[in-house]
């Protein structure tokens, strides 16, 4: 079976795919206007308390949690918030307005 024989290649491709997706999300979904609000996504094992504490400590006003407890929507105090939040352990800081993408759930975005 050729799939088994080339499992190293296939595993490398899978890693490349996941890494590329992560990196893309990291730079392409970065907040266009952080002052209007950002969505901060921590590691899945982060507790809501930790999420809240880290979001606020990085320099933002907490607005609400996202779906799971490791996602928070916040309004940054300053323009360096993205860097601070990443330093605080956030995996992704995305623009809440654009994550709806083609689903056009834009109504929720206008209400930070």
Partner 1 sequence: MTNIDMFQAIVAKALIALAAVHVPILMAVAWALDQDVGSTMLTAGALAAAPFLLWRLQRPIFVIGLALAVALVGQTSILVYLMSGHPWQVEMHFYYFAILAMLSGFCDWRVLLAAAGLIAVHHLSLNFLLPSAVYPGGTDLLRVIVHALIVVIETTMLVGIGYAIRVAFAEAEFARLEAERNAQAIKRAGVEQEKELAATTERAERMNDLLERFQREMMDSTGILHHAAEELSADAENLSRAATKAHAQSAKAAGASESTALKIRSAAHAGEELAHTITEVGSNAAKSSHLANDAVGEAARTNEAIGELAVAAQEIDNVTDLITAIASQTNLLALNATIEAARAGEMGRGFAIVAQEVKALAGQTATATQDIGRRVAAMRQATGRSVEAIAAISGTIKELDVFSARIAAAVEQQAVAAREIAANANAASSNVVDVGTAIVEIETVADEASRAAGSLGSAATNVADQSKRIRDRVAAFKQNLQAIQA
Please report, as ranges, the residues that interact with partner 1 according to CB under 8 A: 2-3, 6, 9-10, 12-14, 16-17, 20-21, 23-30, 32, 39, 41, 66-68, 71, 73, 94-103, 105, 108
Question: Least distance in Å: CB of 20 to partner 1?
Answer: 4
Paired residues of 39 in beta bridges: 73, 94
CB 95 within 8 A of CB 38: yes
User: Within 13 Å, how many C-alpha atoms sit on residue 111's CB side?
Assistant: 4
Q: What's the CA gap between 36 and 22, in Å, rounded? A: 24
Indicate if the alpha-carbon torsion angle 58, 60, 62, 68 is positive or negative.
negative
Question: Least distance in Å: CB of 74 to partner 1?
Answer: 12
Coil, helix or strand for 69?
A: coil
Choose between 88 and 94: whose C-beta lies nearer to partner 1. 94
Question: Least distance in Å: CB of 85 to partner 1?
Answer: 15
Choose between 41 and 60: whose C-beta lies nearer to partner 1. 41
Choose between 13 and 87: whose C-beta lies nearer to partner 1. 13
Question: Least distance in Å: CB of 87 to partner 1?
Answer: 19
């Amino acid at each position: 079976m050729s799939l088994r024989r080339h499992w190293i290649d296939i595993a490398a491709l899978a890693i490349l795919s996941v890494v590329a997706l992560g990196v893309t999300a990291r730079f392409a979904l970065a907040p266009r206007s952080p002052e209007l609000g950002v969505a901060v996504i921590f590691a899945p094992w982060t507790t809501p308390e930790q999420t809240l504490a880290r979001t606020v400590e990085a320099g933002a006003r907490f607005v609400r949690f996202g779906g799971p407890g490791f996602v928070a929507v916040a309004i940054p105090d300053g323009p360096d918030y993205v860097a601070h939040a990443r330093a605080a352990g956030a995996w992704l800081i995305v623009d809440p307005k654009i994550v709806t993408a083609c689903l056009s759930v834009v109504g929720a975005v206008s209400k930070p």
